[in-house]
Structure 1
Amino acid sequence: MKQRTWFITGINSGFGRHMTEQLLERGDKVAGTVRNMNSVEDLKEKYGALLRVFHLDVTDTNVIYEVVDQTFNELGKIDVIVSNAGYGLIGAAEELTIEQITHQINTNLLGSIHLIRASLPHLRAQGEGHIIQLSSSAGQTAFSGGSLYHATKWGIEGFCEAVRQEIAPFNISLTIVEPSGARTNFTHHSVVLGQKLEAYSISQAHNARRGFEDTSIVPIGDPARMVKIMIDTADQKPAPIRIALGSGAYNTIHQSLSNRLEELEAQKELAFSTDFPANK
């Protein structure tokens, strides 16, 4: 098995933690970022020099570029960039504060955009590389109460879809990962709820809120299995563009795409009717 060096944001919890543990256990090197340097002391003690930890809050744009530059300068070649850091913001759009909206976009969308941009000059210079962007089934479908979370996930998927085409000539690949619920600490520890407005008690938005407030709900997704599939994309040529992980992801994305295609096909004649005639 080829030993690789990985750069992963948000390694203290969730998929980032699972991925880091699997990679270190098999002997790969990981440069990981955290907001709290004490949150991965156990990993540093267990794996020693295989793990390098950098302090980073992905809402701090300038520091993203500094940390990425520093990591490449110190470690040399980095084979895989994993844009993982993020969280969920749940509530009807009207229930969210300006500060919550700004922070969600700065973290999930702009943080990921700048991480990828910061990495590209280095990946081009080394002549190869692979980028893994953690999205969600929420990047292909939408539910009431998740408007801002969806905005960031749909946004980063559009960005990555275009960038993937831009960087293909440089032997750099990019994979978007779309998991559904998994048994990480995301659901009940990485989700922020907006201020509840009683006016929305008749809206489905509050159904989404109840789903996150109810700690008895246990997702069926196995994060260890999901992460292994993410890791395996580094060995696939060509790398997959998207990977849906979990039966929930497959079912909701399939339904969403089917509905959208059906609606589009029903509008074909209308769409074509707005073109100039062929002889004009």
Structure 2
Amino acid sequence: MTQRTWLITGISSGFGRHLTTQLLARGDRVIGTVRDLTKVADLIAQYPETFHAELLDVTNTDAIGRLVEHCFDRFERIDVVISNAGYGLFGAAEELSDAQIEQMIATNLVGSIQLIRAVIPHLRSQGGGRILQLSSYGGQVAFAGNSLYHATKWGIEGFVESVAQEVAGFGIGMTIVEPGGARTEFRYGSAQVAKLMSIYDDTPAHAFLRMLDPANGLAAGDPARMAARMIESVDQHPAPLRMVLGSQALDSTISTLRKRLADFEAQTARAASTDFPVGQ
């Protein structure tokens, strides 16, 4: 197997950590970004030749640009870029603070956009490569109490779907990864919760509180198996535009899209009624 070089953001935990350990175990080289090097001290010690940790806050656009330039200068070729850094924020829309909104958009949406923009010229000049963007089935399905998270995931999915068409001719494949619930720190550790208002306690806006409590049952998704499927997807040609991981996520996505399609089809006559008559 030919050794690949991967650039992955946000590898201190969750999918990023699983992706990194699996790739290193099979002999690939990983450039992984973190905000705290102590979180990956074990990987630095275990894989001194193939693991390269870099400090990065994805809300710093200038830092993203500098990191990308540094990595391509040092390693010459990067085969796969995985935009993984992100987190969850839960609460009704009016419970969220301005600072929470700005931070989430800067991390989950703008950070991902700027990383992709920064790597495209390098992938294009080297003749191609792959970009995987971590999204969620929440990029297709919306739930109460998740409005800002959905805003970032629906936003990045539209961006990637457009950019994928722009760069396909340069040999750059792009995949939106849409995992369902998984047993990672995203749900059971790093998820942030707004300052809750009691008025929403008996409404769907606070239903997420049950999901965040492991005592109510753990998510069905195995993050290690999900990471393995992401890695395997790099060998698919052409690159799959979307990849849903988790049976519940796929069922929910299909059900939602069927309802959405039926709603659109019911509007056929009204939509046509706004056109100019044929020939005018």
Is TM > 0.5 for Structure 1 vs Structure 2? yes
**Counterpart in 1 of 2:32?**
32
Cα distance in 2, alignment partners of residues 50 and 198 from structure 1: 51
Alpha-carbon distance, 1:109 to partner: 0.3
Contact 2:185 2:191 in 1 (8 A): no
Aligned residues: 280
Contact 2:210 2:216 in 1 (8 A): no
**Counterpart in 2 of 1:203?**
203
AA aligned opposite 1:229: R
Which stretches of structure 1, 4 residues or more, deviate above 6 A after TM superposition? Answer: none
Cα distance in 1, alignment partners of residues 102 and 82 from structure 2: 23
Cα distance in 1, alignment partners of residues 55 and 25 from structure 2: 22
- Cα RMSD over matched residues? 0.9
Are residues 74 and 184 of structure 1, via their aligned partners in 2, closer, same or farther at CA, if it must alter by over 3 Å? same
**Counterpart in 2 of 1:8?**
8
Contact 1:145 1:209 in 2 (8 A): no
TM-score (norm 1): 0.98
* Partner secondary structure for residue 30 of structure 1: strand
**Counterpart in 1 of 2:128?**
128
Alpha-carbon distance, 1:239 to partner: 0.9
* Partner secondary structure for residue 187 of structure 2: helix
Matches within 5 A, 1:187-198: 187-198=187-198
Alpha-carbon distance, 1:198 to partner: 1.1
Alpha-carbon distance, 1:202 to partner: 3.1
Matches within 5 A, 1:237-276: 237-276=237-276
**Counterpart in 1 of 2:87?**
87
* Partner secondary structure for residue 46 of structure 2: helix
Alpha-carbon distance, 1:216 to partner: 4.2
Cα distance in 1, alignment partners of residues 52 and 93 from structure 2: 39
Cα distance in 2, alignment partners of residues 87 and 209 from structure 1: 16
Corresponding position: 1:158 with 2:158: yes
Deviation track 1:30-60 (CA, whole Å, cap 9, x = no partner) reads 0010000111000111111100110001011
Deviation track 1:211-255 (CA, whole Å, cap 9, x = no partner) reads 214554311111111111101111111011100000121011111
Q: Percent identity of the aligned residues?
A: 54
Contact 1:87 1:108 in 2 (8 A): yes
Cα distance in 2, alignment partners of residues 276 and 112 from structure 1: 41
* Partner secondary structure for residue 54 of structure 1: strand
**Counterpart in 1 of 2:219?**
219
Contact 2:183 2:221 in 1 (8 A): yes
Are residues 215 and 103 of structure 1, via their aligned partners in 2, closer, same or farther at CA, if it must alter by over 3 Å? farther
Unaligned runs of 5+ in 2: none
Cα distance in 2, alignment partners of residues 37 and 214 from structure 1: 28
Contact 1:91 1:209 in 2 (8 A): no
